[in-house]
Amino acid sequence: MGDLFGHRGHLVRVAALFAAGLVAFFILRVLFVPEGFGVYGHFRAGAIEENRVRPVTFAGRAACVECHSDVPEAMKGGRHAAIRCEACHGPLAGHAGDPAEKKAVRPDSKVLCARCHAANVARPAGFPQVEPAEHSAGEACTTCHAAHKPGLGEGGTK
C-alpha cells in the first residue's frame, strides 16, 4: 500500500493528462461541429430550414383565382379545365404579389399551342395533335379556338 501512495505522482500526472485531453476534445468539438449537426442524422438540421426559405416563382392556381375567379368558370367543362394557369401563362408570383406593377403577358398562341398539340409520334395516340402548318397556315390558334375552353361545340370554339 505504501508503495502505491509513494508513487501517486504518476497517477496524478496520468489523470491530469486525461482531463486535459477531455477538455481539449470538448473545446475542439464545439469549435468544429456546426450547430444542429446530428439532430436528425449526419447533417446540419439548419440546412432543412435553409432549403425552405427561398421565395416561390410560380404562385399556384389558388393565388390566381383569388382575383381572376371568372376564368375557372369559363374553363369549366372544357378539355383545358384541369390545367393550372401558370402552365400556359408562365411564372406569375411577382404579378400575384404586385398586380399593378408586374403585368402578365399574353402568350403567343402559335408558339404555346404547338408545344402540346404539334403532331409527334411519341405523344400518346389519343392526344389531340395537328400539323400546325397544314392546320392553320400560320394563323393564330386563337382566331378559331377559345384557349380556355377549346374544342368543337358547346361554346368551345369561337
Alpha-carbon Rg for the chain, nearest whole angstrom, is 34
Stretch that binds another protein, among 13-21, 84-92, 94-102, 143-151 (CB under 8 A): 84-92
Q: Is residue 78 helix, strand or coil?
A: coil
43 near another protein, judged by CB under 8 A: yes
* Selected binder of another protein within 2, 4, 5, 42 (CB under 8 A): 42
**Residue of 86, 136, 147, 149 that binds another protein (CB under 8 A):** 86
Give phi and psi for 118, each to the nearest 5.
-70, 135
Site string for another protein, 45-74 (x = CB under 8 A): xxxxxxxxxxxxxx-xx-------------
30 interacts with another protein by CB under 8 A: yes
- Interface with another protein includes 96 (CB under 8 A)? no
Sites for another protein among residues 123-152 (CB under 8 A)? 123-124, 127
Distance of closest approach, residue 110 Cβ to another protein, in angstroms: 13
Count of C-beta atoms within a 10 Å radius of residue 60: 14
Q: Which residue type does 7 have?
A: H
Q: Which is nearer to another protein, 8 or 54 (CB)?
A: 54
Give CA–CA dist 156/149, Å, rounded.
5
Asked if residue 44 binds another protein (CB under 8 A), the reply is: yes
Burial class (CB in 10 A: 0-12, 13-18, 19+), 113: buried
Please tell me the distance from the alpha carbon of residue 32 to that of residue 138, in angstroms, as a whole number: 65
CA distance 158 to 145: 5
Site residues, another protein (CB under 8 A): 26, 29-30, 33-58, 60-61, 80, 82-84, 86-88, 90-91, 115-116, 118-124, 127
